[in-house]
Amino acid sequence: MEPNNKQGGAASSKPVTDLEGGLHAMRLGDPSSPRLLPRHPDAATSSLPFHPQQVLAPTAAPVERPPPHVPQPPPRELAPTATAPGMRLLPHQHQSRPEARSYGGVEPSPADRIRRNLRYTAPAASTSSVAPKQSNLSVSAEPFYPTFMQWPSTPFSSTSQNENGSLDAYHPSALRSALHADAALLQWRREHVRARLLDRGTLDAFVLMSPEFSPHVVSLLEERDETMRRCVLAKVLPFVHTVMWTREGHDVFRELLRACEGRFDELESIVQAVCNRKGFLMCVAVQHLGVIALKELIRVVALNPQLRVTLLTGLLNDCLMERSKGDVLLHQYFRVLPHEDCKIITRVAVASIDAMLSSPMGCYCLLVCLWNATDGELQDLEDNILRRTGVTATNECGKDFLEHALAHGGEQLKVRIAERVGENIVDLSRHRLGHYVVSACIRLTRSVEAVECVLSAFLLLRPSELEALVRGPPSTSVLAALLETGKRYSPSLAEDLARRIVALPAQEEDAGLWLLMWTIDSLFHFH
C-alpha cells in the first residue's frame, strides 16, 4: 500500500508543481510561458481553491477615464523652519512664491485663475492591493478632457491671450489695447454727442442729464464755439428747471452760464425760461444743486440792470421769502447786487411782514433783511417789528425771531425791544412762550441798558401784580434769572426788587417759589 500512496501522492502533486512553475515564469515575464485564459462562464468549476484571474493582476492596465477637472489651488509648499545637518533644500524651495488667497492676501486676477487651471494636473490614483475593476471602454476609446472657456476678443477688452492659451490681464500689450479702446470709445461718444447737439430737430434731455454724455457736453462748451453754445442753449431751455437741480445737468447749466456771460440776448432767454411760470422755486430751490445754480445765475446777471431786475421780480412773484432756501438766495442778492436794488427787497419785506413773522422761512428772510438793510429802509423795518413785538412774542416763529434779534442785533435794537417787552411785562412773563422773550432780554442781550429796562418794568408793578408773578410757575423762573443777572449789571435795582419780593405776604411754597427765595438768600443775604 505504501508504493501506491507514494505514486498517488506524486501524481497529485504534479499538476500543482506545473502550475507553480507556470506562475513563476509569468511573473518573470517569460514569453514562452502559457498565458492563463479566463474561463468561460459555463465551464466547470476548478478544483483549485481560487481562480488565477482572481489572484493575479492583469498584465496591462485597463484604460480608465480620468476624473472631470475641478479647479483647485496648487498644494501649499511650506518652507522648513529649521534646517537639520545634512539636509538640502530642493531647488523649488529656494524661491518663495506668494500665495493668492481669497482672504488675508491678494485676490487672484481672472487671468491668474485660468493660468493656474491650465497648469493643473489631476493627482495620480492611489495604488491598492486589490485589482481595479475592468473598464467597459475599449482600448481604442479616446480619453475625455475638459475644455476651458476662452474670453471673447472684443476691441474694448483689457486682457490678452498668450501662446499657452491663458489670459494675461497685465501684459503691456493688453494695457495698451485697453487704453486705445477706451480712447476710441470716448472719442466715439464725444462725436456722437456733438452730432446730437448739432441736430436742431431733436430735444435731447437724456444727453444733457446722463452720466455718460453730460461730461462731453461740458467739454464741448469749454471750447467756446459759438455754434455749439447756441445749440446747447436751445437744448437746455425747454428743460431748464430739471437741468438746474439734477447732478449731471447742473454742471452743464453752470458751464452754459459761463459761456453766455456778457451776452445779453442769451442770458435774457435763460432768465425768461427760469421765471416762465409761478412755482418754479418749489422744484428748483428745494434741492441743494438748484440753489447753487440760482446763485450762479444771480451772479452772472448782476452786471446788467435790466436782467437782474427781471430775475428779482420773478423770484419775488414766486414768494421767494416763503420758499425753502429763500434766505440763502436773499443773502446772495444783498452780496452781489447794488444798494438801490436791495431797497426793493426791504420794501417787500416791510409790506409782507405779518406773513413773514408767521412762518419759519419768513422769519429767516426777515432776519437777513434786518442785517443787510441800511438807512431809511432799516428804520422802517425796525419800526414795524417793534409795533408787533407783543404779538410776535406769543407765537413760535415770532419768539425765535425775537430771540435771534436780541442775541445778534444792534445795541439800539436790543434796547428798543426790551422797552416794548417792559410795556407788557406781566402778560409776557406768565405766557408759555412770551416768558422766553423776557428771559432773552435778560440773558442774551449782554446789554446793561436792556437789563435795566426790564428791572425798571418789574419795579413799577403794583404789589398785587408782583404777588401774582411770584405765584406763577413761568414768572418765578423769570424773576430768578432777572435777579441773578441784575446783580452783575445793576446791583442797586436788583436789590430793590429782591426786597420788594421778600416784603410780600407769606405764600404757600412750591418748587418755583422755593427756587426764587433760595436765589434771593444766596445773592443778597437779607437774614
pLDDT tens, residue by residue, 321-368: 988 899 999 999 999 988 888 899 999 999 999 999 999 999 999 999
In the beta sheet, which residues pair with residue 177?
Answer: none
Q: Give 196's pLDDT tier (boundaries 50, 70, 90).
A: confident
Question: Would the pLDDT of 304 be above 80?
Answer: yes
Question: Would the pLDDT of 65 be above 50?
Answer: yes
Contact 243, 208 (CB under 8 A): yes
In the beta sheet, which residues pair with residue 168?
Answer: 160
| 28-32, 201-205, 430-434, 456-460: segment of lowest average pLDDT | 28-32
Phi, psi of 161 (to 5 degrees): -115, 125
Which grid coordinates are listed for 183?
480712447
pLDDT, tens digit, for every residue of 252-280?
999 999 999 999 999 999 999 999 877 78
Question: Would the pLDDT of 302 be above 80?
Answer: yes
Q: Where along the chain do its domains lie?
A: 186-318
- Average pLDDT rounded to a whole number, residues 121-144: 44
Dihedral angle sign, alpha carbons of residues 295, 299, 301, 307: positive
Highest mean pLDDT of the ranges 69-83, 113-127, 183-197, 393-407: 393-407
Question: Would the pLDDT of 28 be above 80?
Answer: no
| Cα end-to-end distance, the chain, whole Å | 152
Q: Give 505's pLDDT tier (boundaries 50, 70, 90).
A: confident
Q: What is the pLDDT of residue 193?
A: 85
Q: What is the pLDDT of residue 12?
A: 44
- Average pLDDT rounded to a whole number, residues 198-223: 85
- Average pLDDT rounded to a whole number, residues 455-463: 94
CB atoms within 10 A of CB 336: 16
Number of separate helices (H) and strands (E) present in the chain: 28, 2
**Average pLDDT of the chain to the nearest whole number:** 75
Task: In whole angstroms, give the CA distance from residue 491 to residue 486.
Answer: 6
Which grid coordinates are listed for 181?
479702446
Q: Which residues of 3-21 are buried (b: 16+ CB within 10 A; e: fewer)?
A: eeeeeeeeeeeeeeeeeee
Contact 348, 320 (CB under 8 A): no
Question: Would the pLDDT of 182 be above 80?
Answer: no
Q: What is the pLDDT of residue 283?
A: 82
